[in-house]
Structure 1
Amino acid sequence: MSSQTQLTPPQDDERSPSTTRNVLVIVALVWTVQLVALIAALSGIAQADIAIHFRTTEIAWFTLMTLLTGTFFLPFAVKAAAIFGKKRVLLVATGLGFTGDLIAAVATDYRTLLIGRGIAGIYTASAPLAYAITRDVFPRKWVGVASGILAGGVGLVAFGGPFLSGWLLDDYGFRGVLWFMAISTAVSFLLVGAFVPESPIRAAAGRMDWAGGILLGGGVTAIIYAVGQGTHWGWGSGRFIAWVVGAAIALVVFVFVERKVAEPLFPLSMTRRRPVWTVLLATSIAAGSLSAVGVVIQLLILMPKIPTISEGLGWSGTHNAIVTSPISAMIIIGAVGTGLLSRRMDARILLGTGAALAVLGYGIGTHLHHSAPQIIEMGVIAGLGTGIVMAIVPIMIIEVVTPEEQALANGVQTLGQGVAQIVVSQLAFVVMAQHGAILKGTQFYLDAGFTNGLWLVVGCVAVGAVLVALIPRSKRLDEVEVGQAA
């Protein structure tokens, strides 16, 4: 981008800060990135209790509100990061995330709870910013290591998250989960403020593209809202069609606006390059669909067993953690192994392999999900694939863009993955509800609903796997240009 510039690289003695300092930066960034995944996991665990407590059939909005606001504000966040600095914007997003978490923790009604979750959704922007900072502030020999650790952290969340959430839910209820979210976000703010340096890469004379941001954020948000309300409005209703058409018009106008403005929100010159758009498309669908599977699995495991009403397994949070711990271990193995192999193997092979394993695992689970051994069998295979997919996504983005484009490309991928996650999640709720019943204001699901929900995820992940064939060969991680070492 012509409007981007890079500060003069520091001298060798400045370029290589102490190992201790680098480790502290990695710890702060890992906490920041994986807190997004941890909060999503905690939300999935708590949603059954929250639905029963508030007697709502609208529990889908508990996670949807977070994704909705995160999607809308993400374009503004990544553009502001290029102008004002990634660390500054990261601190703002984290501070607003803490505010929303605090509101949700003290909420006494479901509406206020949703408002808090909506504000907390702004924290979603922290993940792409943290990945971009990793490329900018580390010397070359640290970039691959740091990126792999950040990506592999998803396995640690997967392993420890169920035990943590089980303990919180069983001993303190969903309120304990909400308060933990608030405290963890506050810790993230302190770690970033204390240890993460500001990125040396900044726009020379950047300006915010307000029109582009509103059109993109508004268009995508309108699609998400329409999908979320589709069940109530009717999928063929005039209201649903009007929202979808309005969203499509906004996105088309966005493309025309971006061609005219001097400093576009997401440069079309970047997204038109085949290596970039194919990676964004395949990773968004594959990773977004895998992120959505949690709504099916957690409801299956935690919803009670009520004859003719609900055919969940009815496990406690702690029992869930114990049974799923082998799955979490496989996610760690897949993620760490991918971080090592990415320097030697074609990333396309890794992405395709991971997606294929997830399809196989959840495909088995469509019919075998009624006991602990069956859940483990399904999850061990799918967990390995999930770890590979989640770890290779940020690495593939680094391989196809320049340091100046890194934050924007991460933002586009996060936006696409978020949209895929929301759409698949909402469709899963719709599919499951076709085989279920409402009792005392709460939606419950029968076994056929869980089966169809898993089949939906399997199909969507399979689409992501097929799209890998469109991606051309690119440089490997150890061959790309990085921030300070460039």
Structure 2
Amino acid sequence: MSQTPTVAPPAQERSTSTPRNVLMVIALVWTVQLVALMAALSGIAQAEVAIHFRTTEIAWFTLMTLLTGTFFLPFAVKAAALFGKKRVLLAATGLGFVGDLIAAVATDYRTLLIGRGIAGVYAATAPLAYAITRDVFPRRWVGLASGILAGGVGLVAFGGPFLSGWLLDDYGFRGVLWFMAISTAVSFVLVAAFVPESPIRAAGGRMDWIGGLLLGGGITAIVYAVGQGSHWGWDSGKFAAYIAGALIALVAFVLVERRVAEPLFPPAMTRRRPVWTVLLATSIAAGSLSAVGVVIQMLILMPRIPTVSEGLGWSGTHNAIVTSPISAMIIVAAVGTGWLARRVDARILLGTGSALTVLGYGIGTQLHHNAAQIVEMGLIAGFGTGMVMAIVPIMIIEVVTPEEQALANGAQTLGQGVAQIIVSQLAFVVMAQHGAILKGTQFYLDAGFTNGLWLVVGCCALGALLVLLIPRSKRLDEAEVGQAA
């Protein structure tokens, strides 16, 4: 499928002005970071949600959004190439708002999960926002805008705990859910008002429905099986059947993509070594870091109950105050990485960031029992997190063409989502080996938190090692970027 830039519309021409560029950055930063903010708010609220609904299945509170987001992502990036990135951004945001509303008014856990599942479609906005950044900004703004979008992770990490602490302490988890709905509505308005449509569009083509269903269905089956593995038994026939069915679907997907005229993810792109190695390394590295909140937030917010739960029992506000230096470190690292990316090999930056997360969380496996130890762990790991999150979108720009940008971002987000889901689920399984159920709620002992952190350390280390597979590629200044690129 070929993609051709259309004639730039008037809004595109006006975007060359600084005020217009600033407004676009604000709109896209809000859109991208709302995905991270919702994940952070969900992580902080999940302990109270588990206690309120008396469920041992709290993992699905965050898993549902990841599950549906992963399933619909291939369709979203393909639709963006066919119909326009802005249109798909608005469609995904609108569905996200509907899901958030359902979750906010839910009176039972099943309805809450349905709302969370619908809201998960919003996850597709992040890769599309990064892709549209390459298309609509002037060349001199592309690197800066991409760095700011990625650096917003630090802003979320800094402001998110204060915001969630205030919401959780004063309004409970309902306040968190209503804030999500309002924020999604704001995202819709900002994109509609300030972001122009991308001039990069597919010249014809059609949706690869079969490929999308096979890919989404295969990944969904794996995720569901991992989520239920501890209940079914890891050696049970049901678990084996789901995994076997998923593998068959994924093999069929590969075969279908080789034969269809308009593949979901063109094999010509994904077979190139610079592309698949970057996708693999960044997916593991970033996905592992996205999953670490499962362990950290449970450790910090779960109450301390003798012989049952050995969480720190902090309030949301106390958590925000203690972890604010860590959040500031993420911001500094992300912005600095965006600046260094034009001068330093991106592989070095990704490897260094991943190594720092291994060191930080490695220390945390032994020292995580008070505020000073949490800060010590977080400052090191936070600096590494900022580096990893900032360099991921830049590495994608360096290895693909403008026409491939949305598809590559979608593939990376898909891989990262799968890694996050699997690591998150395994973390719950590992932690539950040292815990207890009280009044329908799963609690965890210190050994559970320790083993959960060791799991994260191992996955981050794998991400660091995978950097060695990536060949040298063009740097950001050499890549084809900018308006009508």
The match for 1:311 is 310
What's the CA shift for 1:22? 0.7
8 Å contact from structure 1 (residues 310, 437) kept in 2: yes
Residue 81 of structure 2: SS of its match in structure 1?
A: helix
8 Å contact from structure 1 (residues 342, 476) kept in 2: yes
Moved over 4 A (4+): 8-11
Q: 2:99 aligned with 1:125, yes or no?
A: no
The match for 1:83 is 82
8 Å contact from structure 1 (residues 15, 484) kept in 2: no
The match for 2:235 is 236
8 Å contact from structure 1 (residues 219, 250) kept in 2: yes
Structure 1 residue identity aligned to 2:473? S
1:18-417 matches, within 5 Å, as 18-417=17-416
> Which string of whole-angstrom CA distances, capped at 9 and with x for unpartnered residues, describes residues 357-377 of structure 1?
000000000010000000000
Structure 2 residue identity aligned to 1:392? I
Residue 198 of structure 1: SS of its match in structure 2?
A: coil
What's the CA shift for 1:16? 5.7
Structure 2 residue identity aligned to 1:293? V
What's the CA shift for 1:8? 4.4
In 1, Cα distance between equivalents of 2:478 and 2:164: 40
8 Å contact from structure 1 (residues 74, 415) kept in 2: yes
Structure 2 residue identity aligned to 1:240? F
What's the CA shift for 1:483? 4.7
Structure 2 residue identity aligned to 1:261? V
8 Å contact from structure 1 (residues 397, 409) kept in 2: yes
8 Å contact from structure 2 (residues 161, 320) kept in 1: yes
Residue 276 of structure 2: SS of its match in structure 1?
A: helix
Give the TM-score taking structure 2 as reference length.
0.99
1:469-484 matches, within 5 Å, as 469-484=468-483
In 1, Cα distance between equivalents of 2:17 and 2:469: 42
Residue 258 of structure 2: SS of its match in structure 1?
A: helix
In 1, Cα distance between equivalents of 2:218 and 2:370: 42
Residue 436 of structure 2: SS of its match in structure 1?
A: strand
In 2, Cα distance between equivalents of 1:80 and 1:426: 30
In 1, Cα distance between equivalents of 2:257 and 2:126: 25
In 2, Cα distance between equivalents of 1:30 and 1:8: 26
In 2, Cα distance between equivalents of 1:329 and 1:25: 24
Q: 2:432 aligned with 1:448, yes or no?
A: no
8 Å contact from structure 1 (residues 3, 263) kept in 2: no
8 Å contact from structure 1 (residues 215, 253) kept in 2: yes
In 2, Cα distance between equivalents of 1:79 and 1:339: 28
> Which string of whole-angstrom CA distances, capped at 9 and with x for unpartnered residues, describes residues 371-404 of structure 1?
0000000000000000000000000000000000
> Which string of whole-angstrom CA distances, capped at 9 and with x for unpartnered residues, describes residues 4-57 of structure 1?
22224689x937621101100110000000000000000000000000000000
Give the TM-score taking structure 1 as reference length.
0.98
In 2, Cα distance between equivalents of 1:43 and 1:479: 39
Residue 443 of structure 1: SS of its match in structure 2?
A: strand
What's the CA shift for 1:3? 2.3
> Which string of whole-angstrom CA distances, capped at 9 and with x for unpartnered residues, describes residues 179-237 of structure 1?
00000000000000000000000000020000000000111111001101101111110
8 Å contact from structure 1 (residues 201, 483) kept in 2: no
8 Å contact from structure 2 (residues 94, 188) kept in 1: yes
What's the CA shift for 1:478? 1.2
Structure 1 residue identity aligned to 2:411? V
In 2, Cα distance between equivalents of 1:341 and 1:462: 23
Residue 206 of structure 2: SS of its match in structure 1?
A: coil
What's the CA shift for 1:482? 1.6
In 2, Cα distance between equivalents of 1:360 and 1:477: 28
8 Å contact from structure 1 (residues 305, 312) kept in 2: yes
Residue 202 of structure 1: SS of its match in structure 2?
A: strand
Give the aligned CA root-mean-square deviation in angstroms: 1.2
In 2, Cα distance between equivalents of 1:80 and 1:9: 20
8 Å contact from structure 2 (residues 257, 267) kept in 1: yes
Q: Unaligned stretches of 5+ in structure 1?
A: none
Residue 381 of structure 2: SS of its match in structure 1?
A: helix
Q: 2:423 aligned with 1:424, yes or no?
A: yes
> Which string of whole-angstrom CA distances, capped at 9 and with x for unpartnered residues, describes residues 396-430 of structure 1?
00000000000000000000000000000000000
> Which string of whole-angstrom CA distances, capped at 9 and with x for unpartnered residues, describes residues 408-464 of structure 1?
000000000000000000000000000000000000000000000000000000000
> Which string of whole-angstrom CA distances, capped at 9 and with x for unpartnered residues, describes residues 458-482 of structure 1?
0000000000000001111111002
Q: Return closer, same or farther for 1:483/1:217 CA change in 2, 3 Å cut-off.
A: farther
The match for 1:466 is 465
